[in-house]
Structure 1
Amino acid sequence: MGKTIVITGAGAGLGRALARRFASEGETVILLGRTLSKVEEAAREIGGSAMAVECDVASADSVRKAFATVAETYPKIDVLINNAAIYEPFTVAEATDAQIDDIIATNLNGPIYCCRAAIPMMEKGGQIINVGSESIAVPFVMLSLYQTTKAGLERFTEALVEELEPAGIRVTTVRAGPMYEPGKTAPGWDQDAAMRFHGGCAAKGIDLRTRPISQTENVTGVFRSVLDLPPDVRVLHVSVGARRP
């Protein structure tokens, strides 16, 4: 019997690639996204029983509403993948209130809200995967808040592992490296900030122009492997990087 899998940030990038793969393998996928039209388009492309639900993970009320909508059709879910995140370079001194609030609310509060909503819908054998970031270990510039939220998410995951062990629900961090989705539009970053980000990284020895980058669909196998672990095995942390083929 297939799994029922909820994926946040499923309108593009890794989230959409995961939904596409799992659906092709007979799983039921529920695509959550802040922009309803994007997840609806992805669900139509996937076809079958794919379900699109509007959800801004930064809003506790939006998360509650989204999971209540999911529960009307799927009162029990097997997997939650917390993938939604904001990735934008800026310095703390120049950051706007909105930039600070949005990145913390989306990248850290969001997965916590989604876990809180999903756990009562899970049974023994359920799984939660929180998507981390290589930026915790790589000295990128102008990503202090992104790095902080992803580090916080990893620590939250570690605590949740112990909290949910008695319920038989496994929790894993998948720390992801750089990925590329063919056809995806460039992020709407401030041009000056983007140039300083690239220049600052280069000064640290990180040349973003020549650095290897993976295709999103090629990373999905790692998540598949985590979901297919035998019931007596748990993996707490997986790091996924890119390499030149």
Structure 2
Amino acid sequence: MEFRLAGKKALVTGGTRGIGRAIVLGLARAGADVVTCHRQEGEAADLLARELKEIGGDHHVIKADVGRLDDIERLAEECRARFGSLDIVVNNAGVISHIPFAELPPQEWRRVLDANLTGTAFVVSASLPLLSAGASIVNVGSRVATVGVPLRAHYTASKAGLIGLTRSLAKELGPRGIRVNVVAPGPVETESEIPAPVRERYQNMIPLGRMGISEEVANVVLFMASDLSSFVSGETIHVDGGI
């Protein structure tokens, strides 16, 4: 299936690594112009910028932390100045940590919720004046939102909150022709090394017998961003191999 997004303007948060990187490259290859952001300077951001230049198009890699409201406002202003409007917003940026709930510091709860849930809400809010009729908002969630995982109560709560936020926004923004959906990955291979026992446990849990790859999640995000899913809104699409 070929996704044709020529002329579309997209914002992707957290786009320099893993799933976010695959989403940015997928959108660019489908013809969209993309603004993406990252929290830290480094080789990942530089490499993405070089790859986007090779693909061609009007792409920009910007430093911004969606856990900070002033950075979100600056990011939206960059999109306005460079594109004038947006057709696609992908909220991919997020953080995670593994801490027993009894030992979870309040500041870590706030850090994860601010990045994963509050940041998403504020990115949507800041983007609203730029969104065209027919625009698509895709929030990258997680399979854990509906099952729960030990040591990640704060992360799970943030991703579960995305589902409720998405359902409400789909109903509120639908009359403007704006669709809002969640794409929820299961276990996915990324740049981080996964210990062998953890990999084996995941593979035993997944009916397809393997972990996913970032591009498989990105393909679903592209579908949800495109006109091929023009009557899909308020949904959570799990990309988890049937776990």
With the length of structure 2 as denominator, give the TM-score of the two structures.
0.85
In structure 1, runs of 5+ residues without a counterpart are 188-193, 199-205
Task: Tell me, yes or no, if structure 1 residue 20 matches structure 2 residue 25.
Answer: yes
| Alpha-carbon displacement from aligned partner over 1:148-206 (angstroms, at most 9, x marks no partner) | 1111111011110111112111111112111113xx1449xxxxxx9xxx6xxxxxxx9
Alpha-carbon contact 2:223-2:229 (below 8 Å) kept: no
Aligned to 1:190: none
Aligned to 1:42: 48
Task: Tell me, yes or no, if structure 1 residue 77 matches structure 2 residue 86.
Answer: yes
Equivalent position amino acid for 1:69 in 2: E
Change (3 A) 1:96 1:10: same
Aligned mates of 2:177, 2:242 — CA distance in 1: 35
- Give the C-alpha shift of residue 214 in structure 1: 0.4
Aligned to 2:218: 220
Task: Tell me, yes or no, if structure 1 residue 180 matches structure 2 residue 178.
Answer: no
Percent of matched pairs sharing the same residue? 26
Change (3 A) 1:21 1:241: same
Aligned to 1:240: 239
Aligned to 2:201: 207
Aligned mates of 1:78, 1:228 — CA distance in 2: 9
Alpha-carbon contact 2:136-2:224 (below 8 Å) kept: no
- Give the C-alpha shift of residue 209 in structure 1: 6.6
Counterparts of 1:1-245 in structure 2, within 5 Å, are: 1-37=6-42, 38-47=44-53, 48=56, 49-181=58-190, 184-186=191-193, 207-208=201-202, 210-211=204-205, 212-230=210-228, 233-237=231-235, 238-242=237-241
Q: Give the 3-state SS of the residue equivalent to 2:140 in structure 1.
A: strand
Q: Give the 3-state SS of the residue equivalent to 2:103 in structure 1.
A: coil
Aligned mates of 1:13, 1:144 — CA distance in 2: 23
- Give the C-alpha shift of residue 132 in structure 1: 1.2
| Alpha-carbon displacement from aligned partner over 1:51-72 (angstroms, at most 9, x marks no partner) | 1111100111111012112221
Aligned mates of 2:230, 2:148 — CA distance in 1: 36
Aligned mates of 2:28, 2:180 — CA distance in 1: 22
Alpha-carbon contact 1:179-1:214 (below 8 Å) kept: yes
Aligned mates of 2:77, 2:163 — CA distance in 1: 27
The count of residues paired between Structure 1 and Structure 2 equals 228
In structure 2, runs of 5+ residues without a counterpart are 1-5
Q: Give the 3-state SS of the residue equivalent to 1:149 in structure 2.
A: helix
Aligned mates of 1:98, 1:39 — CA distance in 2: 28
Aligned mates of 1:231, 1:140 — CA distance in 2: 31
Aligned to 2:3: none
Change (3 A) 1:221 1:86: same
Aligned mates of 2:220, 2:48 — CA distance in 1: 21
Aligned mates of 2:176, 2:41 — CA distance in 1: 33
- Give the C-alpha shift of residue 97 in structure 1: 3.6
Aligned mates of 1:122, 1:57 — CA distance in 2: 19
Cα-Cα RMSD? 2.5
Aligned mates of 1:107, 1:7 — CA distance in 2: 14
